Structures are given as structure tokens and as C-alpha cells.
Chains A and B, each alone.
Chain A
């Protein structure tokens, strides 16, 4: 466990030093601009728009980091062979793999937390009480990012980092339009029904992590919904990481 945490801590340090958190600057810029430009609008409108922009930015930047840093987490180490001296030590491949995952999860947690604070600060700046109900939209978004990282890690153990990036973006996009996939035969009658069914059930449905609209309108999200979405994410993460580990543990490096 200590070795896993050492890898996680070093991965976090790597992302910080590789300036991954610089995306926060863009987030801050988006929040400031929306706060300033929308101050002319009516009270209800500017609050909702700040929440919409803030949550969308958290989702966008978080998913971007999850895809592109996630894909490079292990594949970059394999390509550069920087993991060779480490895996010859008492560090198990499983510890290395999971440590990289936990490290990026930590980076995303810091990133998401800072953005959330920024969004709450912007709301306060334009004269609204910070709405802690926003956390019930941010938390599922964070779970969605963790699923994306697991997809990226799995694909990066199976193929090149470029293909893994394309595949992860594909899964992240397709997973947001699961309903379209389910109803694909209505718009494309020629689509093989088995394929459509398999895609619908295999791909994670990222719409399940999306409570943005509900929260922006001020509707509460129940604890049961949050519990279910946590189990849903845990199920996918466990399957994806197990498959990734099975591939990584057998791979010649």
C-alpha cells in the first residue's frame, strides 16, 4: 500500500510540474468574464448562467485532463521506458498501475475542487449566496472523470497512445449520447440490432453523471441518486481497471 501511495504521490507531483493545473487559469478567466458580462442581466438569469458555465467548464476541463493525461499515464512510461528501473524493484505492476490511477484521481480532485471554489466565489462576487447544492452536480461529474481515466488506462495498455486517445475520446463522446445509440435504429434502420444493443449496454452512460441542469435550476439531488451513480461508477471502474491490469500484468515491456 505504501508503494502504491508513493507512485500516486509522484504521479500527482508529475501532473503539477507538467503544468496540468494551468487549465485553472482558463477556468478562472471563464468565471470572471461570465461574472462581469452577466452582471447586467436579471438576478435569476446571471445566477443560472454562472452555474451553467461553471459546471460545463468543470466537466470539459476535467474530461480533457482525464482523457489526455490518462492515456499517457502508463503508455508514456512504457514508450520512454521510465518504468523499467522501477518495476525491477519490489514494486508490483499492480501497485504501479493503480498508483498511477490514484495519482491522477488526486489531481482531478484538486482541479475539480479549485474550480468549484472558483464557481462559488464568482456567485458570491455577483451578489448570490454560494449554493452548496452545486456539490451534488460536481460530485457525479468527478465520478464520470474517474470512469474516463479508467477507460484511458485500459486502452493505453492495449494499443498505442494515439489510438488510445482516439478510443477514449470516442467512448467519452458516445457515452454521452447513449440514448441516441439506443434509438439508432429509428434514424438508421440498417444498423445491426445486436451491435446497437451491445454498444448501449457496454459503453458507460455518461448522462447518468450529468445533474448539471437539475442543479442549475435549484432542484435538489437525492442521496439515493448519488448513491446509485456512485455504485454505477464503481462498477465500471472496477471492470475497466481489472481488464487493464490483466493486460498490463502480462505484457512484455
Chain B
């Protein structure tokens, strides 16, 4: 079979998944509702949603750990059921459990064998990856002695063993300290530089804002939005933030103020953009000083909170079909 050229690394079309729940009288619970989106080649794609929204379920379907009820999925131009794409993909599960009777070096070597790599290639790739994830000094320590963060790093290394074109990471920052998070971010950015595609799930919005070219937002198994961050978020200025000192704004007549916050000797004012000039003049006339003025745009977190709180978005975990 010849490889089909495709601009998309992953394409989901009406992907649906349900589980049986209950013990005696079992019912089907739909956890993914006709998801349709694509991940383009060479991009970093963030898959966002609160706990129980279906992120891990989606990634497990892509990794053939779960079988979908309906819909179509293609990965690297091949149908999901065609195992050939798996030679070019890497997967890090959420909270990975790696064989704890092996050392990190042995585990990576084992993974290399599953990819059919020759021993010299396995040895070289293992050495390189252990250095990349900062585990070269612990390479020969049994994984049962690893901390949670170290296991996560080893898990990331195994996902990259075959130098994959597509890397699927389920909550890759989970359990990592700030240094570890920085390392994972750098690895993800490095993969993008090499032209690889990264699809990762997270509920840490700052990671998505820092890294992602595009994102999809999931809520209760339904897709809320997908696209570039700039298109999803309102990037026009929501309001201006003005930091003043030397005057109590309560005693100055000001219009267009949405909020006032006391910060010791200083005050932070949330001001409508069109009222900014009048506010600055009024503060200066009252003897105060303007310390800082900055525009405030809607953050991903603002969007998330706003969308999650919207009625009709359903309870986490899907609904019964």
C-alpha cells in the first residue's frame, strides 16, 4: 500500500465513543460525541478540557487502546485500524507506569526492539534520549526507585524512541516540578523545530498559551471550539489596567471605572479604553501619579472559565445515550 500524502497528521470525523456503566442493569454512556477536527502536520496542537471531559479517552482511541463506536480517524494519512502508522508515532500515556523491574536504559532498549531497531541504533538513541530528558545519570537505576517526575521523563523518552513524525502526549507536564515542566516545553518546541507534529492534552492553560499553534476545547465529550488561539480568544482589548499612587481614587470623580483594588499605597483601576485619557488627567490633577498603564486582553483562562460556566455545556463526563 502506498502512503497517502496529507496535510493533516490526524483527522477525526464524527468520532463517537461510549462505555457500558453499571453492574447489573448496564446502560451506555456516551463520552465522546461526534468529534470532528484535524491536527495539521508540523503544528503543536493543544487538546484542552477539564477533568472528565474526554481528553484521555480521545487520545486512547488514537492509540488503539480503546475502540471507537463510530466515526472515522486517519493518522499520518492511514486509517486508524492500519497499524503501519504506529511506526511513525509516539505516545505518552497519562501517569505512565513503566516496568519498574527495568532500568530506564533497559526499558528504552526494549521499546527500541518493539520498533525493530538494530542494537547499535537502540544504544545510540537511548543515550541521546536519556540526555535529552536529563536522566543520563539515572540510566542504570531501576525504575521502581524513580520519583514521579523522573518516571514522567522516562515516559517522554520512550515516546520519542522511534524519532516519530507525530507525538501524542497525554498531560505531559503532570507531576513535574518547574524544571521538569520547562524541560518538557523545550522538548515540545524542539520537536516542532524539527517539523514534527505534537498533539498534547492539558488542563494547564498557561502551557497551551505558551506552546500551541492551535487548540481544541472539549467539554463533556463535545467539542466547544477549535482553531488558533487568536481566533478563539477575543484579542481586542477588554479594558485598561491603570496603576496609580499618591491619591485615593475613591475621592476623585472618575467615569468608566469597572473595578478598584487597593495594593498597599497603590491602587489598581480597571478602566474602559475610551475613558483612559479622562482618568489619567483626573488622577494627575488630584496630585496622583500614574505608575503603569497596560491593556488587558482576554486570556485562555478567562475564556475557559466563561465557557465552562455557560449553561447547556453539560456536566463533566458526558451524558447517557
- CB B275 to nearest CB in A, in angstroms, measures 55
- CB B198 to nearest CB in A, in angstroms, measures 15
Say yes or no: is B97 at the interface (Cβ < 8 Å to chain A): yes
Within 8 A of A (CB), among B71-129: 83-84, 86-87, 89-93, 95-99, 101-102, 110-111, 113-116
Assess the A252–B113 pair: CB atoms within 8 A. Answer: no
Assess the A17–B67 pair: CB atoms within 8 A. Answer: no
- CB A94 to nearest CB in B, in angstroms, measures 11
Among the listed A17, A85, A252, which residue makes an inter-chain contact with B98, where contact means beta carbons less than 8 Å apart? A85
- CB B64 to nearest CB in A, in angstroms, measures 7
Query: Which one of A2-10, A157-165, A232-240 is at the B interface?
Result: A2-10
Say yes or no: is A129 at the interface (Cβ < 8 Å to chain B): no
Say yes or no: is B172 at the interface (Cβ < 8 Å to chain A): no
Subset of 27 A-B contacts with CB under 8 Å: A2-B113, A2-B116, A3-B116, A6-B113, A6-B114, A13-B101, A14-B99, A17-B101, A18-B101, A81-B97, A84-B65, A84-B93, A84-B96, A85-B158, A85-B159, A87-B65, A88-B64, A88-B86, A88-B89, A88-B93, A89-B114, A89-B162, A90-B83, A92-B83, A252-B19, A252-B66, A253-B65
Within 8 A of B (CB), among A148-183: none
Assess the B114–A90 pair: CB atoms within 8 A. Answer: yes
- Complex Cα distance, B83 from A85, in Å, reads 15
Contacts of A228 in B (CB 8 A): none
Q: Classify chain A: how many residues form its interface, as a range.
A: 20 to 34
Contacts of A7 in B (CB 8 A): 114
Say yes or no: is A225 at the interface (Cβ < 8 Å to chain B): no
Q: Is the interface of A mostly helix, strand, loop or mixed?
A: helix
Assess the A91–B93 pair: CB atoms within 8 A. Answer: no
- Complex Cα distance, B110 from A3, in Å, reads 10
- CB A6 to nearest CB in B, in angstroms, measures 4
- Complex Cα distance, B98 from A14, in Å, reads 12
- Complex Cα distance, B102 from A6, in Å, reads 14
Assess the B97–A82 pair: CB atoms within 8 A. Answer: yes
Contacts of B19 in A (CB 8 A): 252
Say yes or no: is A44 at the interface (Cβ < 8 Å to chain B): no
Contact mask for chain A residues 218-233; partner B; CB cutoff 8 A; 1 contact, 0 none: 0000000000000000
- Knowing A3-B116, A85-B159, A90-B86 touch, does A252 contact B99 (C-beta < 8 A)? no
- Complex Cα distance, B89 from A10, in Å, reads 23
- Complex Cα distance, B93 from A81, in Å, reads 9
- Complex Cα distance, B86 from A253, in Å, reads 17
Among the listed A13, A82, A89, A92, which residue makes an inter-chain contact with B111, where contact means beta carbons less than 8 Å apart? A89
- Complex Cα distance, B168 from A216, in Å, reads 60
Chain A interface residues toward B at CB < 8 A: 2-3, 6-7, 10, 13-14, 17-18, 80-82, 84-92, 250, 252-253
Chain B interface residue count, CB cutoff 8 Å, equals 34
Among the listed B84, B91, B97, B102, which residue makes an inter-chain contact with A88, where contact means beta carbons less than 8 Å apart? B91
- Complex Cα distance, B102 from A17, in Å, reads 9
Give the 5 A-B CB pairs with smallest separation, nearest first. Answer: A88-B91, A88-B63, A6-B113, A17-B101, A84-B93
Assess the A10–B99 pair: CB atoms within 8 A. Answer: yes
Say yes or no: is B155 at the interface (Cβ < 8 Å to chain A): yes
Assess the A91–B114 pair: CB atoms within 8 A. Answer: yes
Closest to B98 in A: A82
Assess the B110–A6 pair: CB atoms within 8 A. Answer: yes
- Knowing A81-B93, A88-B86, A89-B111 touch, does A14 contact B63 (C-beta < 8 A)? no
- Complex Cα distance, B110 from A195, in Å, reads 47
- CB A76 to nearest CB in B, in angstroms, measures 10
Closest to B63 in A: A88
Which among A6, A88, A250 has the greatest number of chain B C-beta atoms within 10 A?
A88
- Complex Cα distance, B64 from A207, in Å, reads 42
Assess the B87–A90 pair: CB atoms within 8 A. Answer: yes
Assess the B99–A82 pair: CB atoms within 8 A. Answer: yes
- CB B197 to nearest CB in A, in angstroms, measures 15
Closest to A15 in B: B101
- Complex Cα distance, B111 from A7, in Å, reads 10
Contacts of A6 in B (CB 8 A): 110, 113-114
Assess the A85–B66 pair: CB atoms within 8 A. Answer: no
Assess the A88–B65 pair: CB atoms within 8 A. Answer: yes
Contacts of A86 in B (CB 8 A): 111, 114
Assess the B110–A87 pair: CB atoms within 8 A. Answer: no
Assess the A252–B87 pair: CB atoms within 8 A. Answer: no
Among the listed B65, B93, B95, which residue makes an inter-chain contact with A252, where contact means beta carbons less than 8 Å apart? B65
Contacts of B114 in A (CB 8 A): 3, 6-7, 86, 89-91
Assess the B158–A10 pair: CB atoms within 8 A. Answer: no
